[in-house]
Amino acid sequence: MPELPEVETVRRGLAARIIGRRIQRVEVRRSDLRIPLPIDFADRLAGRQIETIDRRAKYLLLRLDDGQVLVVHLGMSGRLVLADRSSARQAGPHEHVVIQVGDDLEICFDDHRRFGLMALIPENELQTHALFARLGPEPLGPDFNGAVLAAALSGRRTPIKAALLDQSVVAGLGNIYVCEILFRARLSPKRLAATVQGGRADRLAAAVRAILLAAIASGGSSLRDYVQASGELGYFQHKWLVYGREGQRCKTRGCGHTIRRIIQSNRSTFYCSLCLR
C-alpha cells in the first residue's frame, strides 16, 4: 500500500500522539512477518520510552530510550493505526502486533498480506543494516536535485519507470507516484533511464518533489488498505491524473487522448502516449 506520502502521513499522526510515551505491553499475535519477529521481541520493547519518530524511504523509525530503533515497513497492505484502549476493541484477524503505549492507547500493526515487517535494530547499526545500506537519497531532503538524479540514472539501460521504482536511485517512490511523477514531468515511462539528463532530469526531480509534497498535503492516497494513523482516509487518489485511469481521457488541456495501461517489470504503468515523450 504505502509509498512515501502515506508513510510520512502515518509518521506525523503517530508523532503527534505517542512521542514521550512508554511501551507498557506488546502482544505478538503472529510473528511470521516478512522478517520473522524474534522470540524476545516483546520483551525488548516492554518498558521502553518512544523518543522520536522519523522516516527513511518507506520505513518508519521509532527511536527508543535504550538506543534501539523499532523499524516498521508496511509492505503492500500494512496499516499502523492508533486505537483507544478503553473501548474493549476486537482485534482484527490480521492484526499481528499490538503495542500498548501509556495507559490508554494502542498501536496496531495490521497487514493481511504480510509483506510488511517490524524489526529492532541498534541505532548505531542502522546505516549499515541490509534494509538501509543501499537506499538512495531522500527525495524531499536537501541533497536531492536534477544533477543527483541524472547521475543515478546515467548508464542505466532500463525504462525510466523501472529505474524510479528502484529504491537505490531515489528512496520512497512506488508505483502510483512514479506514474503521476512521469506524467507531470512529461516523460514517457518507456524512455531509457540513461537518457534522462540535463533539463529532463531537472524537470523530473522537480516533479518528484511536487507530487510527493502535494500527496502529503492530502494525507496520502487511500485505495484499499491505507488509512492514516488516526483511521482517516487520505484523499490524494482524487487528484490522480493517470494512475487507475485506463481508458479515460487525458486531463491535459487540449489533449483528451485515452490513458493507456501497459505492464513494465510486472507492474501496471498508466500514461498518456500523446503527452509524454
131 binds DNA (CB under 7 A): yes
Phi, psi of 175 (to 5 degrees): -65, -45
Using the contact rule CB under 7 A, the part of the chain among 61-69, 83-91, 97-105, 214-222 near DNA is 214-222
88 binds DNA (CB under 7 A): no
What cell was used for 183?
506524467
Using the contact rule CB under 7 A, the part of the chain among 37-45, 80-88, 106-114, 247-255 near DNA is 106-114
Cβ pair 28, 96 in contact under 8 A? yes
Question: Which of 19, 233 has the CB closer to DNA?
Answer: 233
Cβ pair 102, 22 in contact under 8 A? yes
Residue 198: count of CB within 10 angstroms of its CB: 11
Question: Which of 252, 268 has the CB closer to DNA?
Answer: 268
156 binds DNA (CB under 7 A): yes
Residue listed under C-alpha cell 523499524: 71
239 binds DNA (CB under 7 A): no
Catalytic residue among 11, 55, 58, 161: 58
Among positions 68, 188, 221, 228, the unique one binding DNA when judged by CB under 7 A:
221
Give per-residue burial for 228-253: e unless 16+ CB within 10 Å, then b: bbbeeebebbeebbbbebeeeebeee
What cell was used for 46?
516492554
CA distance to 175, 205, 242, 263, per residue, from 252 (Å): 21, 20, 10, 23
Q: Among all residues, which ones are annotated catalytic?
A: 2-3, 58, 267
Interaction site with DNA (CB under 7 A)? 1-3, 6, 34, 57-58, 73, 75-77, 93-94, 112-115, 130-131, 155-159, 162, 165, 167, 174-176, 193, 220-226, 234, 265-268
